[in-house]
Amino acid sequence: MTTEEKIYFQDFMPGNVCFGCGNNNPEGLQIKSYWEGEEAVCRWSSEEKYHGWANLLNGGILATLIDCHCMCSAMAYAYKIENRSLDSNPVYRYATGTITVKYLRPTPNNKPIELRAVVEEVKGKKTTMKCNVYAEGEITAEAQVIAIRVFDSNQSNAGNPFVE
């Protein structure tokens, strides 16, 4: 069996202090997202401080995980369809326009969870995505997310929100 080294999208976002996805936020959730075929995957293990009810994940934290996973994945997808690596130029960054989460059943806080996102449509600077959350193989939430490209280093009038 071959072991393929994963390429994590967040490792190509220097200066990212975001609570959900920033490598530069030591107090943050520090998610890591990567491609498995057409799906962007994030595996994450919680801590007790993120519980809602005992042993159940807080719904806002879950929404943050979905949100950040999808923003980073929208970015990675944009590079992918331009057939270039994540360390290439131009640099793109995305912000959440809309997120809708359907909480289907309680998500455990004491077991690893998996987020799987796919891009449904790219239209201009808007990327529409679907993201499912699984715990022990069971779906616990499904989300529709709209990511908007807010930074394009090709455009001189843009400011990179991740750099001070």
The residues that touch ligand MFK, with contacts defined as CB under 6 A, are 95-98, 123-126, 146, 148, 150-151, 159, 161
At closest approach, how far in Å is the CB of 110 from ligand MFK? 28
Nearest to ligand MFK of 41, 150 (CB atom):
150
Nearest to ligand MFK of 18, 133 (CB atom):
18
At closest approach, how far in Å is the CB of 37 from ligand MFK? 27
Q: Is 81 exposed, middle or buried (0-12, 13-18, 19+ CB in 10 A)?
A: exposed
What DSSP letter does each residue of 77-115 carry, written as one string?
HHHHHTT--TTSSS-EEEEEEEEEEEE-SPPBSSS-EEE
Provide the residue type at 131 as one letter.
Answer: C
Residue 90, preceding bond cis, omega within 30 degrees? yes
At closest approach, how far in Å is the CB of 96 from ligand MFK? 4
At closest approach, how far in Å is the CB of 98 from ligand MFK? 4
Nearest Cα neighbor of 31 from 58, 63, 68 is: 68
Alpha-carbon radius of gyration of the chain: 16
Nearest to ligand MFK of 49, 123 (CB atom):
123
Nearest to ligand MFK of 59, 161 (CB atom):
161
